[in-house]
Amino acid sequence: MTEQALIIRNVEVGFHPGQDVHLSAGRIAAIGSKLPALAPEIDGRGGAVIPGLIDHHIHLLATAAQAHSLHLDGVHAARELADLIAARAATLPHGEWLRATGYHERMAGLLARDDLDFLAPHHPIRVQHQSGALWMLNSRALDRVLCADLPDCVERGEHGHPTGRIWRGDAWLRGRIASAAPPLAALGAELARLGITGVTDATATTDDAAAGLLAQAHRDGALPQHLTLMGAARLAAPDDAAFTVGPVKIVLDDRDLPPLDDMLARIEAARSQQRAVAVHCVTDAELAFTLAAFESAGSRPGDRLEHGGMIPSEAIPAIAALNLMVVTQPAFPFERGDRYLDDIHAAQHGDLYRCASLRHAGIHVAASSDAPYTSPDPWAAMRAATRRRTRAGRSIGAAEAVSPAVALNMFLGPPDRPGGPPRRLAAGAPADLVLLRTTLREALCTLNADLVAATFISGRKTVLF
């Protein structure tokens, strides 16, 4: 990525108007009024300059692949599902893969191969559950991916035949399909448009091949954001810092929690790599198991709870005592909140994707998208965090709402300390910043991505509208 010197004139910095910001060699060289004309200039037109946003939990390759998938999130009935799949299939040659995402069993039950054979008789089809834990395949798809030695992730029926359901089998399925990696340039540009200058990819299956692909996309400029990569496997950061190695990701499934000793061994393996641990915790059972493991193994700085989908009030003191960070997704109560309110007991509604109560307990709370499972738009997530309303306008855990300033700050923590003190603009700091079209006070009133006028990564202008 080519670095360049630049002066952004007439901007607001830290609520102080009339400032200039000089960028040089990838860093902020100076901030002040009427700085000398030492570099090319752009007029900020009085807009605020803030640190670049960081999405602390995203799945980059899956989000890029989403652009070529059939989205099922808005489906409410089986007939609608059938019509959507038929319409997409009609656009594809016979035999070409059809990929659909965002499915939930409320649409038409838990699908099996026969159901999908009926819906897509001429195409191999794979449908992902909106939790990300399950893929459902028809017979044509199974014929292409099955092998003699089936892994445990392939569900079998009472006679030993595959049902078409593959649980937590992303890595195996990807290897069997052997499809080309999705292009990343469009995603990189979209993230920049949203003001995102850094991301943490939280994909547990990231290996050397996937890490190499993401690193090359960064080097080529297709994915200009600073990259931190998790993964269950051992990773080594490249010499050119195309990515930083993040925590070891541990994915739990409360349908099949591992023995505690196995969990402790995985934590110890992470410690041997000098890495923190990030544990997928969506349900209260997964959270209880994780807290028991950390109480036994001990926690270290950087250890994280991902999602915090259900956090009972009695668990909050334990999270605080262990000094665990929570990386949550404020958009879920908006995007899926109506289903949550219908399916989850009213006494637990306040436990969903907590923010305010965790912060009040002294817990560091960071925000993220978990894209492609919600929108990658951080501004939409900020609005959701402040309003705590569902898509239909119903209140959901209103006591967990935070102020607009807090919602913004949850995207400003450093990659290695999400939820920690927000990064500030100062001379010598990395030149990763966002120019807004308005003052910060005005931006906090609307929290809209349309207010992003330009994004700078390592001092390089990646977006200017």
The mean pLDDT value of the chain amounts to 95
Q: Tokens 């999270």 sit at which residue?
A: 319
- What number is the average pLDDT over the span 26-34? 96
Q: Does 159 or 23 have the greater pLDDT score?
A: 23
Cα 395 from Cα 397, distance rounded (Å): 7
**CA angle at residue 336 from 332 to 339, to 5 degrees?**
140
- Band of pLDDT at residue 119, cut at 50, 70 and 90: very high
Whether residue 239 has pLDDT greater than 90: yes
Burial state string for 158-173 with b = 16 or more CB within 10 A and e = fewer than 16: eeeebbbbbebbbbbb
Domain boundaries, the chain: 1-52+424-465, 53-60+183-422, 69-177
- Band of pLDDT at residue 448, cut at 50, 70 and 90: very high
Q: For position 465, what pLDDT does the model report?
A: 57
Q: Pick the closest to residue 279 from 254, 307, 257 (CA basis).
A: 307
- What number is the average pLDDT over the span 210-217? 96
Q: Do domains 53-60+183-422 and 69-177 have the same CATH topology?
A: no
Whether residue 1 has pLDDT greater than 60: no
What confidence tens digit (pLDDT) does each residue in 86-111 have? 999 999 999 999 999 999 999 999 99
Question: Does CATH number 3.20.20.140 belong to domain 53-60+183-422?
Answer: yes
Cα 113 from Cα 275, distance rounded (Å): 40
Q: For position 74, what pLDDT does the model report?
A: 84
Q: For position 212, what pLDDT does the model report?
A: 96
**C-alpha atoms less than 13 angstroms from C-alpha of 2 in its C-beta half-sphere:** 5
Give pTM, 2 decimals.
0.92
CATH no. of 1-52+424-465: 2.30.40.10
- What number is the average pLDDT over the span 373-399? 97
The count of other CB atoms within 10 Å of the CB of residue 213 is 16
Q: Which fold has domain 69-177?
A: Diaminopimelate Epimerase; Chain A, domain 1 (3.10.310)
- What number is the average pLDDT over the span 262-278? 97
Cis peptide before 378 (omega within 30 of 0): no
What confidence tens digit (pLDDT) does each residue in 65-86 have? 998 899 998 898 999 999 999 9
Show the tokens assigned to 273: 């790599």
Cα 27 from Cα 40, distance rounded (Å): 15
Q: For position 2, what pLDDT does the model report?
A: 47
Q: Tokens 């392939």 sit at which residue?
A: 154
Show the tokens assigned to 109: 């039950």
Query: Which residues pair with residue 154 across a beta bridge?
Result: 166
- Band of pLDDT at residue 180, cut at 50, 70 and 90: confident
